Structure 1
Amino acid sequence: MTIKEHLRKNIVLATPVIIGQLGHIMVSVADSVMVGRIGVIPLAAATFAGTIYHVLMLFGIGVSYAITPKVAATDTKDRPRLLKFLQNGFFMNLGLGILLFTLGYFASHFLQYFGQEVPVAEAAGSYLIIMCGSLIPLMIFQTFRQYAEGLSDTFSPMAVSVLANLLNVFFNYMLIYGKLGAPALGLNGAGLATLMARIIMFTVMIWWVKGKISGFEWKYDWSGIKDLLRIGLPSGLQYVFEIGAFATAAIMVGWIGAEALAAHNIALNLAAISYMAATGLAAASTIRIGNQIRLKDRRNLRIAGFSSFGLVTVFMAGCGLTFILLRNVLPALYIEDATVQVTAASLLVIAAAFQISDGLQAVGLGVLRGLTDVQVPTIVTFVAYWLIAIPVGYWLAFHGGYGVQGVWYGLSIGLTISGVLHIWRFNRLSKKIKFV
C-alpha cells in the first residue's frame, strides 16, 4: 500500500471512532454548558466531581481497549475465537463497571477533605454518585463497541454514541431546568440524564450489532479474562496517570478559588474535545497495527503507524489554531462571569501550544497498544505526568507566581515528553518485531 492509501484508510476507519469518542466527552461538555447557566458553584462542583469521575471512566475505557487488538489480529473466519474474546470481555467489563461505581460511591463521602470550598464539595457528592452509576451501562457498551471496532466496524458504535449524546442533551434540558413536566434537579439532573442516556446506549448497541454477536454465550474462562487484563490494566493505568494528573491539577486550581476552577473547567472541557478526537485516531491506529500483525507485513505496519502520527499532527494543529482565534468567544458559551471568561481565554492559549504534543502521545499509546506493548508506555506516562508535570506545575503555580497558568505549563511539559518517547519506542519496536 502507498502512503496515500494508508492515509485514506486511516481517515475512513478513524472518522467514526473520533465521532464516537467525542460522544463520551460531549456528555461532560453538554453538562458543563447547561449547568454553567445556573451558576458558578454548580459549574465548579461539576468540575470537581468530574475530575474524579473521569479518572474512573477513562481507566475503564482503557481496560476495555484490550478487546480491540485481540479481535483485529484474529482471522475473521475463526468465529469461536472471536466470540471468546467478546464473552470474556463482557464479564471483565461488567465486573469493572460495578467496581468503578463502588469506588466512586465511597469517594463521594470524602470530598470535603480535598480542600475545596464547602458549597462546591457539598454539591459535588450526589452528582458524583449518579455519574459513577452510569459507568456500569457504559462499560457494557464498551464491550460490544471494542468488539465491533476490532472487526473494523467503526460506524455502528459511532451512530449509537451520537444518538446517546442527543438524548443526553434532551434529558439535560428536562431535568436540569425542569422542563416538559419534569422536576428542576439542577446539577443532579445532569447526572440522571447521563445515566438514562447510557442505559439506552448499551441496549441499542447490542441490538444494532446482534448479527455480529450471534452465538454469544453467557460464560467465560478466567484465563481468557487474565489475558485481556494483561493488556487492559496497563492501558487503563496509562489513562489514570494522564487524566489523574489533570484531576490533580484541578484540585490544585481549586485551592486558588472557585472562579479559577470554573475557568480551568471550561478550558479543559474544550481541550478534552480535541484530545478525545485524538484518542479516536489512536483507536483506529490500534486496529490498523493489529491488522498488519495478522498479515505479517512489517513495511505496511510502520507506514500505518507513522501515517497516524502525521494525521494527528495536522488535526491537532488545526485545533490549536481554533483555540487561539476563538479564545474570547468559546468561554462565553459556558458562563457569563467576565473574570472567569478572561482566565479561561488565557488557558486556551496554553492549551493551543500543547495540542500537537497531546495528539502525538495519544496516538503513540494507540500504535504501541496495537503491538501489545503496554508495560513501558505505562511507565513513561507515570514519569512524564507524576514526576515531572505535576511537581513543575505546582511550583510554577504557588512558588513561581504563575497561578492557574503555571499548572497548565507543567501539564504541557509532561505531554511533550510523553509524546516524544512514544514515537521513539514505536520506531524502535516496529523495526524488530517478530511475527508468529
Structure 2
Amino acid sequence: MPSGASTRAEVMPLLRLSMPLMIAFAAATLIGVVDTVMIAPLGTVPLAAAGITTAFLIILISGLWGLVTVIGVEIAQAHGADDAGEVSAHLRHGLALCAIGGAGAGLVMVLAFPLLRWLNQPPEVIAILMPYWISMAIWLVPILMFFAFKTLFDTIGRPWTGVAISYLGVVVNVPLNYGLIHGVGMGLVGAGIASVLSSSATLLVAWLFWHRASDLAPYRQRVPISWGRIRMLYREGLPICIGYAGEGAAYAFLGIILGWFGAVELAANQVVNAIGGVFYVIPLGMASAVSIRIGLAIGGSERDRLRPILSAALWIVTLWMLAITALYIFGARTMSEALTRDLAVVDLAVGLFIVAALVQVADGVQSSTLGALRGMSDNRVPTAMTLISYWPLALPAAYVIGFPMGYGAIGVWAGYGLGIALAAILLSVRFWRLTAAR
C-alpha cells in the first residue's frame, strides 16, 4: 500500500481536477432534470415515455463514452510527455471519431424503435414516443463532440472552461424547454428539440473558445485527418465502449424490466434516474479525474504515483458517497415529490431510492478503480469483469428477486446492486495486482 504522505500529496490535485469535472457533468444531468420537471405536468404517460428513452440512451451514451475516454487518455499521455503536436492530433481525430460515432449511434436508435413493441412496453407510451425518440437520437452528435473538446480543457488545466460552457447549455435549455413544451404547445417532442438546440450551442461555444483562445494555440496545430489514426482510436476505444455499453445496457435493461410492470414503475424509475443522474457525477467526475492523473503520470514516466493516486481517490469518493447514501435515505420522499404529484409514483420512487442508497459506496469504488485502469490503457480485462458482474449475475438476480420472489420493482433494483458490488471487488483486485512492486 502507498504511504500516507504519498496519498495525501495526491488529494488536492485530485480535488482541484475532480470538482470542476463533477460540476460540468452535473450540467448534462441537469438538462435531464429540467426535461423531467417540465414533462411531468403533461402526465404519467409522457413521463414514462421519457423514461423509456432515457433507458435506451443510457446504453448508447455509455458505449459512446468509451470513445471520449480513450481520447482523454491519449491527450493526457501526450500532454504528460509535453507533446502539443500529439495533443492537437488526438483532439482533431477524436472530434472526427465522435461525429461518426454519434451519428452511427443515432441511426441505431432510430432503427431500434420497433423493438419497443417486441419488448412489451406499454402501447399508450409507444403511441406518443416516436418524435421525441428521433430528436434525442440527433442530440447524440453535438453532445459527444462537445465532450471531446471538454476533455482537452480538463487535461491541459482549464477544467473550469468546460464547466462554464456546460452551464451555458443549461441556461439555454430552461427557457427553450418551457417555451417549446408549454408555450408553443409541442409537448414531449419540444423537450427533445430543446435538448438538441442547447447541446449544439455548447458545441459551438467550445469550438469558438478553442479556435480563438491565445493560450490554446499550441493545441490548434493543423494535422491532416488520417483514417488510419481514427481506426486506431476506434480499436483502442472499442473494449472500453463494450464495457461501458455492457454496464449501461444492464442498467437500462432495468427500465425495460420495469416496463413489464407498467407505466407507474417506469415513471418512478425516471424520477430516480433524474435525481440519481445528478449525484452520479460524483463517481463519474472522480473516475475521469483519476484517469487523467494516471495518464499524466504514465506519460511522465512516474509509475510510482499510480497507487497513491487511486488511494487518495478512494478516500475522497467513499466519504462523498456516504453523504449521498444519507441523502437518499432521509430525503427520498422530498426529492420524489419535487418531480411528480402522482402519489403511486412517489411511493415507489421512495423505495427505489432506499435500495440505491445501499450501493453508493460500492459504485464509487468501482467507478474510480475503473477510471484508474482506463488511464493505464488496461481495457480488455476490466471490460470482461464488468460484463460478468452485470449480465450473468445482476440481471438474472434482478429478474428472480423482482418476479418469482415477488419483490417487484424494488427487488429488480436490489438484484442490480449485487452486480455493482462484484464489479467493485474484481476491479480493485485487478488494479492492485497490476501495480504491485516487481
Bin of the TM-score, shorter chain as denominator length:
over 0.9
Give secondary structure in 2 for the equivalent of 1:262: helix
What is the aligned partner in structure 1 of residue 197 from structure 2? Answer: 196
Task: Indicate the larger mover: 40-49 or 136-145.
Answer: 136-145
1:373-388 counterparts in 2 under 5 A? Answer: 373-388=378-393
Whole-angstrom CA distance in 2 between matches of 1:375 and 1:222: 23
CA RMSD of aligned residues (A): 1.6
Kindly state the Cα deviation for residue 408 of structure 1 after the two structures are TM-superposed.
0.5
Question: Whole-Å Cα distance in 1 between the matches of residues 229 and 382 of structure 2?
Answer: 23
**C-alpha distance in 2 between matches for 1:359 and 1:170:** 34
In the TM superposition, 1:333-412 aligns within 5 A as 333-412=338-417
> Letter of the aligned partner of 1:198 in structure 2?
S
From 61, 66, 70, the equivalent of 1:66 is 70
> How far did residue 218 of structure 1 move?
6.8
AA aligned opposite 2:28: H
1:13-412 correspondence runs (5 A): 13-75=17-79, 77-178=82-183, 183-210=184-211, 211=213, 212=216, 215-217=220-222, 219-412=224-417
Structure 2 CA distance for partners of 1:22 and 1:430, relative to 1, 3 Å: same
CA distance in 2, matches of 1:58, 1:246: 10
Give ranges in structure 1 of 5+ residues lacking alignment. Answer: none
Q: Is 117-126 or 217-226 further displaced after alignment?
A: 217-226
* Residue 311 of structure 1: how far off its partner (Å): 1.2
TM-superposed CA distance for 1:362, in Å, is 1.1
* AA matched with 2:51: T
Code of the aligned partner of 1:273 = V
After TM superposition, give the deviation of residue 400 of structure 1 in Å: 0.5
Letter in 2 for 1:332: E
Deviations 1:199-235 (A, max 9, x none): 1010001112333255344732233223322332222
TM-score normalised by structure 1 residue count: 0.95
**Mapping 1:412-431, distance limit 5 Å:** 412-431=417-436
State the 1:409 CA deviation.
0.7
Contact 2:181 2:187 survives alignment (8 Å): yes
What is the DSSP-based 3-state SS (H/G/I as helix, E as strand, rest coil) of the residue aligned with 2:62?
A: helix
Contact kept in structure 2, 1:49 and 1:125, CA below 8 Å: no
2-structure distance, mates of 1:269, 1:364: 25
Rounded Cα–Cα distance in structure 1 between residues aligned with 2:174 and 2:119: 30
Partner of 2:7: 3
Instruction: State the Cα distance separating 1:432 from its structure 2 match.
Output: 5.2
CA distance in 2, matches of 1:25, 1:320: 19
What secondary structure, in the 3-state scheme, does the structure 2 residue paired with 1:184 have? coil
Amino acid at match of 1:108: F
Structure 2 unmatched runs, 5+: none
Deviation, 1:98, is 1.1
Secondary structure of 1:399 counterpart = coil
Provide, for residues 166-197 of structure 1, a one-character-per-residue CA deviation record: whole Å limited to 9, x for no partner: 2112211111111xxxx111111110110000
Q: Percent identity?
A: 29
Take 2:136 and 2:223, find their aligned partners in 1: how far apart are those partners? 27
Q: Structure 2: how far apart are the matches of 1:131 and 1:360?
A: 31
SS in 1 for 2:33: helix
* Residues 77-86 or 419-428, more deviating: 77-86
Could you tell me how far 1:158 is from its partner in structure 2? 1.4
Q: Secondary structure at the match of 2:161?
A: helix
How far residue 398 of structure 1 moved from its aligned partner, in angstroms, is: 0.8
Secondary structure of the structure 1 residue equivalent to 2:131? helix
Distance 1:333 1:293 in 2: 45
* Residue deviations 1:36-55 (CA, integer Å, cap 9, x gap): 12110000000011111221
Q: CA separation in 2, counterparts of 1:209 and 1:319?
A: 35
Q: Deviations over 1:4-54 (max 9, x none)?
A: 331111010011111111122222121112111211000000001111122
